[in-house]
Amino acid sequence: MQEFDVLVVGGGASGLRAAIAAKHAGASVALITKVHPLRTNTAIAQGGLNAPLSKDDSPEIFAEDTLLAGDGLCDRNIARTFAQEASEDVIWLERMGVPFNRNKDGRLDLRPFGSNSRRRTCYTDDRTGHIVLQVLHEQFQRHQIPSFEEWFVTSLAVDGDSCLGVIALGLRSGRLDAFTARAIILATGGFTRMYLPSTASIGTTGDGQSLAHKAGARLMDMEMIQFHPTVFPKGQGLLITESVLGEGAEIVNDKGEAILASKAVPRHTLSVSLHEAMQNGSGAVALDLKRIGNEKLMSCFPQTAESARTVAGIDITKESVPIMPLAHRPMGGIETNLAGETTLRGLFAVGECACNGLNGAGRLAGNTLTEAVTFGRKVGEAAARYAKGAAKRNFPAGKLTDEEKRLASISGGDSSGDSPGKIHSELGKLMNERVGLVRDGAALKEALERIQGLKERYRKIRVRNPSRIYNYELTSYLELESMLNLAEIVTLAAQARTESRGAHRRADFPERDDRNWRSHTLVSLVQGTPKLNQKPVTG
Amino acid sequence: MEVTFKVYRKDPEKDGKPGRSNYTVELPEDATVLDGLLKIRDEMDGTLAFRASCLRGYCGECMMRVNNSARLTCTAKVSAYTKKGPEISLDPPRNVPVVKDLVFDWDAFMWNKIKTVKPWLEPTGEASDGENLIPDAAMKDLRKVMSCYYCGMCDEGCTVLPVDFNFLGPAALTKAYRFVFDPRAKDTRERLKILEQPKGIWDCVHCFEADEHCPRGIEPTKRILAIRDKAYKVGITNEKVARHHASFAASVKESGWLDEGRLALESEGLTNIKGLMKLLPTAAKALLRGKAPIPYLHAKRPGADKIKKIFEKGEGEKK
């Protein structure tokens, strides 16, 4: 049994920032993560992170842009607090060593990005996530925080309505162990790997949201999934940063003609226009980056050039890149307040796995990384404060033996030719076809039935590999359970919301309906089944 | 297309001896090696252990040897390897302890070594004071170095690591470069003192294999040489290295070429009896094999005077 004041689950930007902040606030902290922090999904973020630093900008304008992108579903107070504090968190990153691109005065250069009405996106070429992640990991090491890497959390331990800790499997040792803490912070990232293809890494499977839901915490706005407009759709899906549009790239048809007004448009609007253009006979749609000019293209977008070459086999200085909108990041997640508190006592959530109301129905381009560092700090501090006043938890040893038994029960036996990979492939295709960018009642109903069928099949599958050491068959099996659970919840919430708002587009309800739907969808587990509720938007 | 993967296997729970399994799978034409591995694990053999994360060449987690050269399996297209036949061999990288199958010990290989170079910046000033004002040129070089995705291919190709696994290696030293050359760092002397220790910058033999192997063109060897230069200039270098440099230069200046006997003696230090004793076996072997002429005389090469003048001119300019 390991014991700490604050335990952070997840080694991406939010988790590292939260761990540093909690340690700084005087708590004993540990991090637990299923992959090494530098391999987390943060590394794929490219375009940049927002801070209202320019002379013609202000936290008020930044908050308005954030609210506009959220299409009436943001919590106004959260957006204001975020906009007020963002600049200091981004400057903090600079002070800690991020080699941001500079303007001629040596100040942070600001790039136009998505529907930001001002230049406010700080960046490091087209590798912002990768480099911010490195600097956060450097500072994490500077703070000498114990780090349990390649430990896979298999369940949350709860007692009534409070969270006692987690049970996790050490992939290297093969040992199952209990970790208890006065405050547990989930920072486990998104779940868009339930869509195939998408922009997600292999581990972006919604473990945290699913574990929290099973433990009794409430999820919010799960139907809100951002589809990124500029993704090369073959193979796993390759995201081309939208910041190329701000620098002169255009969306073109097969004749090479620019077909869309793509500047300063929210992502969901751009994705829907693209979708319509493809439906209305434009056929293949592509991204023409040549218009940026070779010199700027190679100096500002070196990674884009490299990935297009190695993954898609395309030379972006000569050819356009075929694109279509694909699932990128969810806006919804574990419901929290400003301090990151969930509906379970002692359980906090932050970053992409959480939903505090900042993003509403659509996330402003460049807000993801800022959200990770600003709320990572705030939630880390809040958890440390909470831990100081909380009593020591009694973690019954029986919970560990129960989990041992559960894992043993899924091992061994025959799966009759079925497998987690086959079910995942079908789920990924189903979600793209039926719960994709544009949805309708009939498709959602069909999707729900088919997800039930996939869950049935899942229950019959057994893990063949009896070992516990680096048993990725077992971890993929557990990840698939999370994706199936969340796919059902996403579909239920999408079915319930009979309007079109932000990222949620219903062909059968094309208008925004403020009279009935200026409210969040809430999902909680009641007697083993997900139950829906609503909560009016505040502020 | 049908492909047979011949995969390195090792099971720490059995005898731990290396072996090989063959798996024949049907894959689409544009499949990656990772697609093949995932299919094998899902449908044929759940015990096969390998790592992967980003799936698109952003992160470095899935590095291994594909047909004997280090690659990321997520960007390695199967079709690129099957032109000579439908077989692909997969092995863990060289220079690293293997835990299970294709899962090797990243901690020992790279992460723990990075930890020893004090891999963080001590913050300068407060965030509320605003950002540091720095020209972009200084940041551009750091961005290039920080495009490193820790794939470990430079360490995999290193020629020192097979001889001495405790050498910090090009990946960790390139990480150190990012701090040594960051204008915001205020502890550069302290970090250089760490780096000049045995197993550090002076153990690199500048074979440039790391630069050949780096898929991002970061040129780790050049970064190590740049750290050496900086350390030497600010007087942080161990005495043997300083003597080695001085003797090398003096020898060439005086005779026009290198006097290897003198270099060996002067590098150890003429008063360092223990060090000189260590040279004796090598000297004896050289004598036996006729590699050291007797009597040992080091003649000037033709044109040595001109070389000396070049040195003197250079020294004059330096002053």
pLDDT in tens, B30-50: 999 999 999 999 999 999 999
* pLDDT category of residue B57 using cuts at 50, 70 and 90: very high
Residue window 110-129, chain B: list those with CB within 8 Å of chain A. Answer: 111, 115, 119-128
Average pLDDT, chain B: 93
Q: Hey, how many other C-beta atoms are within 10 angstroms of the C-beta on A17? A: 30
CB A114, CB A264: distance < 8 Å: yes
Interchain proximity A472–B50, CB inside 8 Å: yes
- Stretch among A97-106, A236-245, A380-389, B165-174 having the lowest mean pLDDT: A236-245
Q: Which of A139, A307, A471 sits opposite B56 (nearest CB)?
A: A307
pLDDT value for B261 = 87
CA distance A71 to A254: 32
Chain-centroid distance of CA A229 in Å reads 16
Regarding pTM above 0.90, the answer is yes
Which residues have C-beta within 8 Å of that of residue B61, sequence separation ≥ 6?
A35, A36, A39, B51, B52, B53, B54
Question: Using CB atoms within 10 A of its CB, is residue A139 exposed (0-12), middle (13-18) or buried (19+)?
Answer: buried
Q: What is the pLDDT of residues A141-154, one digit of tens each?
A: 999 999 999 999 99
Q: Which of B30, B38, B124 sits opposite A234 (nearest CB)?
A: B30
- Stretch among A32-36, A134-138, A231-235 having the lowest mean pLDDT: A231-235
Average pLDDT, chain A: 95
Question: Using CB atoms within 10 A of its CB, is residue A169 exposed (0-12), middle (13-18) or buried (19+)?
Answer: buried
Three-state DSSP class for A213?
A: helix
CA distance A522 to A533: 5
CA distance A127 to A124: 6
The ipTM, to two decimals, is: 0.96
CB A166, CB A32: distance < 8 Å: yes
Q: Which residue of A has its CA nearest to B55?
A: A201
pLDDT value for A27 = 98
Which residues have C-beta within 8 Å of that of residue B154, sequence separation ≥ 6?
B169, B170, B171, B174, B209, B210, B211, B213, B214, B220
CA distance B7 to B18: 10
pLDDT value for A251 = 93
**What's the rounded mean pLDDT across residues B155-170?**
96
Interchain proximity B150–A419, CB inside 8 Å: no
pLDDT value for A246 = 87
Q: How far is B115 from chain A (nearest CA, A)?
A: 8
Q: Which residues of A touch B136 (CB under 8 A)?
A: 101-103, 106, 109
pLDDT value for B128 = 80
As a whole number of angstroms, the longest Cα–Cα distance in chain B is: 74
- Total CB pairs under 8 A between chain A and B: 169
Which of residues B124 and B27 earns the better pLDDT score? Answer: B27
Interchain proximity B53–A202, CB inside 8 Å: yes
Q: What is the pLDDT of residues A154-205, one digit of tens each?
A: 999 999 999 999 999 999 999 999 999 999 999 999 999 999 999 999 999 9
Q: What is the pLDDT of residues A9-62, one digit of tens each?
A: 999 999 999 999 999 999 999 999 999 999 999 999 998 999 999 999 999 999
Q: Which of A34, A425, A472, A474 to mutate to test the interface with B (most CBs of B within 10 A)?
A: A472
Q: How far is A188 from chain B (nearest CA, A)?
A: 14
Q: Which residue of B has its CA nearest to A41?
A: B54
Per-position DSSP letters for B182-248, written without gaps between them: -TT-S-HHHHHHHHTSTTSGGG-----HHHHH-TT---HHHHHHHHHHHHHHTT-S-HHHHHHHHHH
Q: Across-strand partners of B7? A: B21, B90
CA distance A196 to A233: 10
Q: How far is A13 from chain B (nearest CA, A)?
A: 15
Q: Which of A17, A33, A36 to mutate to test the interface with B (most CBs of B within 10 A)?
A: A36
Q: Which of B13, B42, B64, B151 to mutate to test the interface with A (most CBs of A within 10 A)?
A: B42
Whether B295 shows a pLDDT value over 80: the answer reads no
Interchain proximity A127–B60, CB inside 8 Å: no
Q: What is the pLDDT of residues B78-119, one digit of tens each?
A: 999 998 899 999 999 998 999 999 999 999 999 999 999 999
Interchain proximity B131–A44, CB inside 8 Å: no
Question: Does residue B182 sit at the A interface (CB-CB below 8 Å)?
Answer: yes
Which of residues B261 and A488 earns the better pLDDT score? Answer: A488
Whether B319 shows a pLDDT value over 70: the answer reads no
CB A90, CB A372: distance < 8 Å: no
pLDDT value for A282 = 62
Q: Which of A95, A109, A134 sits opposite B125 (nearest CB)?
A: A95
Radius of gyration of chain A (CA): 22
CB A338, CB A378: distance < 8 Å: yes
Residue window 234-253, chain B: list those with CB within 8 Å of chain A. Answer: none
**What's the rounded mean pLDDT across residues A345-357?**
98
- Stretch among A84-98, A259-273, A524-538 having the lowest mean pLDDT: A259-273
Q: Minimal CA–CA distance to A119: which of A299, A366, A363?
A: A366
**What's the rounded mean pLDDT across residues B197-221?**
95
Q: What percent of chain B has pLDDT over 70?
A: 99
Whether B307 shows a pLDDT value over 90: the answer reads yes
Q: Quick one: which H or E segment has residue A165?
A: strand A162-170
Q: Which of B45, B54, B105 to mutate to test the interface with A (most CBs of A within 10 A)?
A: B54
Interchain proximity A107–B124, CB inside 8 Å: no
Q: Which of A44, A201, A470 sits opposite B99 (nearest CB)?
A: A470
Residue window 16-55, chain B: list those with CB within 8 Å of chain A. Answer: 30, 32, 38-39, 41-43, 46-47, 49-50, 52-55
* pLDDT category of residue B286 using cuts at 50, 70 and 90: confident
